[in-house]
Amino acid sequence: MVTKQILKKREELNNSIINGADYEIIYKLSIELDELITEYYKQEINK
């Protein structure tokens, strides 16, 4: 589940960068992606 969210958020971030979105939007998406990646690793550790 988290993996799909990571892929979707990464695509959203990449598209924002390519399309020249405001820095604030790119930064927000980057933080959201980092949080999802952290959640993924937490789940992996607890397996």
Domain boundaries, position 33: 2-45
pLDDT of residue 1: 87
The pTM (predicted TM-score) of the whole model is 0.91
**pLDDT under 70: residue ranges of the chain:** none
CA distance 44 to 22: 33
Task: Count up the domains in the chain and report the number.
Answer: 1
**Tokens 């959203």 sit at which residue?**
12
* Gyration radius from the chain CA atoms: 12
